[in-house]
């Protein structure tokens, strides 16, 4: 379907719901620093996620669990300085919202106040309903996240596709409805069967953004390091690589190394 695209000067949570109602797909990518955020924003991506995947791709941890609230605020405030148009969503990190709604609200307020971000994302459904409601009540927009929720990796035991079985799929559908009902502005569905993701997207008026959730949802999100090909060893089926930065960067860095060692760099024009 070809759709006349409305030009948005700034993406807001309202624009996203509008985009869904017009049938315009929503683009979302992660970014964790000023330079990358500036490129992503200028390339026209609608939503920038300051994901807790920073724990993996920036800090080199095996899971997203170690990243702290202070570190997320540092990444988010760097991203905010690089953007003009994109909506910025920041992950509440593991341990900053699970214990009770008051703690969740305190963490969300710190992110909004100290980074200047526009919204927060929390992983989970009915278990964290009261925390989400408390954050929403304070006027902070919330994006939900269901399916594979990496902060629960030690409960799942594996990063494989979620909700393949009836019982888990039913719970996911109920949680998605609940998140819309209490006021979340959008929802990420990670690594669930495409048929289920499409059904959920069609049953909601808020946008559903997929990662490994097929093409029947309202938008797509990828981790920027993955889609730019920074790591040759990460090859999940859902990932499309749009560049091979690992090869490009390695070759440029090797060339620089050779040029320094051979005294080719700097030449007469490259000095004062
Ligand atoms: O942290 C992250 O990058 C995410 C995406 C995978 C959705 O939550």
Please say whether the beta carbons of 150 and 128 come within 8 A: no
Residue with the smallest CA separation from ligand 1 atom 5 is 51
**Ligand 1 atom closest to Cα of 28?**
7
Please say whether the beta carbons of 200 and 211 come within 8 A: no
241-262 residue pLDDT tens:
999 999 999 999 999 999 999 9
State the pLDDT at residue 209: 98
**Ligand 1 atom closest to Cα of 64?**
1
State the pLDDT at residue 135: 98
Please say whether the beta carbons of 8 and 14 come within 8 A: no
Question: For 172-212, what is the HEC assignment?
Answer: HHHHHHHHHHHCCCEEEEECCCHHHHHHHHHHCCCCEEEEC
Residue with tokens 């039913």: 170
Residue with the smallest CA separation from ligand 1 atom 8 is 51
Evaluate if residue 123 carries a pLDDT over 80: yes
State the pLDDT at residue 5: 72
Distance 83 CA to ligand 1 centre (A): 19
Catalytic residue among 127, 190, 199, 270: 190
Rounded-to-integer distance, Cα 54 and Cα 66, Å: 10
Percent of the chain scored above 70 by pLDDT?
Answer: 99
State the pLDDT at residue 6: 81
The residue to mutate among 159, 190, 207, 219, having the most atoms of ligand 1 within 8 angstroms of its beta carbon, is 190
* CA 148 centroid distance within chain: 13
- 220: tokens are 């797509």
Checking DSSP bridges between strand 142-147 and strand 119-121, what pairing results, if any?
parallel
Q: Give 267's contacts (C-beta < 8 A, 6+ positions apart).
A: none
Rounded-to-integer distance, Cα 261 and Cα 272, Å: 20
Percent of the chain scored above 90 by pLDDT?
Answer: 97
180-236 residue pLDDT tens:
999 999 999 999 999 999 999 999 999 999 999 999 999 999 999 999 999 999 999
Evaluate if residue 118 carries a pLDDT over 70: yes
Domains of the chain, residue spans: 13-244
Evaluate if residue 4 carries a pLDDT over 90: no
Rounded-to-integer distance, Cα 207 and Cα 197, Å: 11
Residue with tokens 């100290």: 114
Strand partners, 220: 27, 210
Using DSSP, how many helices (H) and how many strands (E) does the chain show? 11, 8
151-190 residue pLDDT tens:
999 999 999 999 999 999 999 999 999 999 999 999 999 9
The residue to mutate among 29, 48, 52, 124, having the most atoms of ligand 1 within 8 angstroms of its beta carbon, is 52
State the pLDDT at residue 27: 98
Q: Which class is 13-244 in CATH?
A: alpha beta
Distance 51 CA to ligand 1 centre (A): 5
Backbone angles phi, psi at 194, to 5 degrees: -60, -35
Residue with the smallest CA separation from ligand 1 atom 1 is 51
State the pLDDT at residue 122: 98
* Active-site residue, 190 included: yes
Residue with the smallest CA separation from ligand 1 atom 2 is 51
Taking residues 55-84, report their average pLDDT. 98
Report the Cα–Cα distance between both ends of the chain, in Å, rounded: 58
**Ligand 1 atom closest to Cα of 150?**
8
CA distances from residue 37 to 27, 66, 159, 166, 223 in whole angstroms, order as listed: 14, 23, 27, 39, 13
Pocket of ligand 1 (CB under 6 A): 30, 49, 51-53, 91, 188, 190, 211, 221, 223
The residue to mutate among 29, 40, 49, 208, having the most atoms of ligand 1 within 8 angstroms of its beta carbon, is 49
State the pLDDT at residue 267: 98
16-52 residue pLDDT tens:
999 999 999 999 999 999 999 999 999 999 999 999 9
Evaluate if residue 1 carries a pLDDT over 50: no
Taking residues 123-148, report their average pLDDT. 98
């Amino acid at each position: 379907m070809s759709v006349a695209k409305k030009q948005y000067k700034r993406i807001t949570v309202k624009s996203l719901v509008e985009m869904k109602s017009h049938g315009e797909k929503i683009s979302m990518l992660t970014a964790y620093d000023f330079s990358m955020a500036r490129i992503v924003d200028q390339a026209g991506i609608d939503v920038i996620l300051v994901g807790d995947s920073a724990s993996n791709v920036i800090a080199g941890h095996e899971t997203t669990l170690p990243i702290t609230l202070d570190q997320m605020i540092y990444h988010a405030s760097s991203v905010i300085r690089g953007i003009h148009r994109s909506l910025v969503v920041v992950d509440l990190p593991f341990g900053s919202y699970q214990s009770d709604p008051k703690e969740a609200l305190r963490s969300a307020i710190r992110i909004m106040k100290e980074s200047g971000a526009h919204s927060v994302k929390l992983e989970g459904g009915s278990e964290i309903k009261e925390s989400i409601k408390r954050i929403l009540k304070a006027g902070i927009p919330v994006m939900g996240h269901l399916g594979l929720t990496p902060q629960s990796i030690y409960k799942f035991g594996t990063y494989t596709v979620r909700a393949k079985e009836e019982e888990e799929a039913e719970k996911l559908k109920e949680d998605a409805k609940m998140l819309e009902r209490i006021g979340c502005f959008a929802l990420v569905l990670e690594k669930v069967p495409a048929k289920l993701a499409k059904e959920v997207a069609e049953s909601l008026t808020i946008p559903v953004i997929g990662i490994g959730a097929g093409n029947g949802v309202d938008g797509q999100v990828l981790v920027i390091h993955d889609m730019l090909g920074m790591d040759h060893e990460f090859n999940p089926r859902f990932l499309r690589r749009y560049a091979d930065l690992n090869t490009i960067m390695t070759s440029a860095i090797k060339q620089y190394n050779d040029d320094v060692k051979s005294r080719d760099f700097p030449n007469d024009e490259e000095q004062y």
